[in-house]
Amino acid sequence: MATFKSDASHSDIELRKKTVPRSKVILKQVIKRYDLYLMLLLPLLWYIIFQYGPMYGLQIAFKDFNPALGFMGSDWVGFEHFERFFSSYYFGRLLWNTFSISVLSLVIAFPIPIMLALLINEIRSTALKKWVQNVTYIPHFISVVVIVGMLSLFLDPDSGFVNVLLQSFGKDSIAFLEKPEWFKTIFIGSNIWQSMGWQSIIYVAALSGIDPQLYEAAKIDGATRFQRIIHVSLPGIFPIIIILLILDIGQFMNVGFEKILLMQNSLNLESSEVIQTFVYKNGILNGDFSYSSAIGLFNSIINFILLVLVNHFARKKAETSLW
């Protein structure tokens, strides 16, 4: 459209077009590309049914959902489910677990791929560099079920190698997976093991895009290699760090709940029950659809608000943002 306007005075054809109303021009463009819309039809239908359908269905958070009556037919109950959730005794615990796991992940697990990328960037030997990269990517391809299975094998109080090692030092074995105080450490630690390599890819790519002249200049100015990391490498990847941080915070409340669900047992529930696992149990297992939808909505809204806030803040302070 922009080119149409600027070129309008230059050719007769454009002049003639100009007299035709804008809506008609657009209509013509649409008709000419009808087959593109045909292609879009199926994917759009999928988005409407499987993404916007559930959003529409969220109204049951404010209703007393009756499967026989459907989303629309059920009776409104206002904020009843929310009030019940906020005043329940487990509300505090759920919120605390969800928040603490998220905050710990952001503080501990988020910087590690950055450090790994900086390390990879400093490796001089190409062979070693390739090794470190390819080996650290491997765990990303292992399924959550297998990862948690490995944890339970390694940490088994009788036969797991961690405890066999502890015993050989004369220590008592620890049933790690049954101890609430160990849950967060194991969860975040194994997350780091699984994803640090994969998440470092983007940073490594960004680091390789930094102008070598900047390093040369820093070197001439007498900067040590460590100083070059701090003053050249890090600022070079700062925008991408911010973007990934925003995306992570947008998932703040979700805390990788599929893995948490697999790691849960009745003994560690005190520190492993998070909002999403609670929604699963109440909704899918107990069939309390309205109540768990309300809790899910609460979760999504916090995520969304955090995303908008962080994005706004990043745009103001770091001049980098998603939109």
| In the complex, minimum distance from the CB of residue 21 to other proteins, in angstroms, rounded to a whole number | 15
Q: How many residues does the chain have?
A: 323
- Compare residues 261 and 318 and give the one whose CB is closer to other proteins: 261
Which of the residues 143 through 172 are near other proteins (CB under 8 A)?
A: 143-146, 148-150, 152-154, 158-159, 161, 164-165, 167-168
Place of tokens 């960037």: 121
3-state secondary structure of 76: strand
* Helices 91-104 and 80-87, axial angle in degrees (round to 10): 80
Residues 84-143 that bind other proteins (CB under 8 A): 116, 119, 122-124, 128, 131-132, 134-139, 141-143
Report the residue number, 88 or 208, with the smaller CB distance to other proteins: 208
**Which residue matches tokens 């929604």?**
279
**Cα distances (angstroms) measured from residue 228 to each of 159, 211, 257, 274:** 47, 13, 39, 42
68 binds other proteins (CB under 8 A): no
**How far apart, in whole angstroms, are the C-alpha atoms of residue 95 and residue 90?**
9
Residues in contact with other proteins, shown as a per-residue x/- string from 24 to 63 under the rule CB under 8 A: --x--xx--x-xxx-xx-xxx-xx-xxxxxxxxxx-x---
Count the site residues for other proteins by CB under 8 A. 94
78 or 222, CB closer to other proteins? 222
Q: How far is the CB of 13 from other proteins (least distance, A)?
A: 15
Question: Using CB under 8 A, which residues numbered 205 to 224 contact other proteins?
Answer: 205-206, 222, 224
Name which of 314, 192, 300, 303 is nearest 245 in CA terms.
314
**Least distance between other proteins and beta carbon 171 (Å):** 13
**Subset of 170-209 contacting other proteins (CB under 8 A):** 193, 197-198, 201-202, 205-206
Q: How far apart are CA 224 and CA 218, in angstroms?
A: 8
Q: How far apart are CA 226 and CA 218, in angstroms?
A: 11
Nearer to other proteins, 100 or 152 (CB): 152
Give the single-character DSSP code of 64.
E
Residue 100 or 254: which CB sits closer to other proteins? 254
Q: Is 63 helix (H, G, I), strand (E, B) or coil?
A: strand
Q: Are 179 and 268 in contact (CB under 8 A)?
A: yes
Subset of 271-310 contacting other proteins (CB under 8 A): 276, 279-280, 283-284, 289, 292-293, 296-297, 299-300, 303-304, 307
Whichever of 8 and 165 has its CB closer to other proteins, that residue is: 165
Phi, psi of 75 (to 5 degrees): -80, 145
For the chain, how far is it from start to end, CA to CA, in angstroms?
23
Containing 218, the helix (H) or strand (E) segment is helix 212-220
Name the DSSP letter for residue 321: -
Smallest gap from Cβ 53 to other proteins, in A, equals 5
CB of 46 vs other proteins, minimal distance in Å: 6
Whole-number minimum distance, CB 280 to other proteins, in Å? 6
Residues 236 to 265 in contact with other proteins, rule: CB under 8 A: 240, 243, 250, 258, 261-262
CB of 318 to other proteins, least distance (A): 13
